[in-house]
Amino acid sequence: MSKTYLGDGVYAEWDGLGLTLTTENGIATTNRIVLEPAELIALLTYLRGIPVGATPLLDLLIGRSR
């Protein structure tokens, strides 16, 4: 899959095994984070731990309601 621009110089790419996030300055990749399944689960667990209603957009994105 090709890179998708997320905004503010951040790109995401799914390779079938994990999610790679990069930051780029227009010339080169300046940072790279690879989230394999265990890290993706940990991130989702973390996001679900944020109190409902604290960030309505997050509630919408991860499918939870008040």
More reliable by pLDDT, 62 or 32: 32
How many Å apart are CA 17 and CA 37, to the nearest integer? 7
Collect all residues with Cβ–Cβ distance below 8 Å to 25 and sequence separation of at least 6.
9
**pLDDT given at position 66:** 63
How does pLDDT run across 1-47, given as a tens digit for each residue? 789 999 999 999 999 999 999 999 989 999 999 999 999 999 989 98
Query: The whole model's pTM is what?
Result: 0.77
pLDDT at 65: 72
Q: How confident is the model at residue 49 (pLDDT cuts 50, 70, 90)?
A: confident
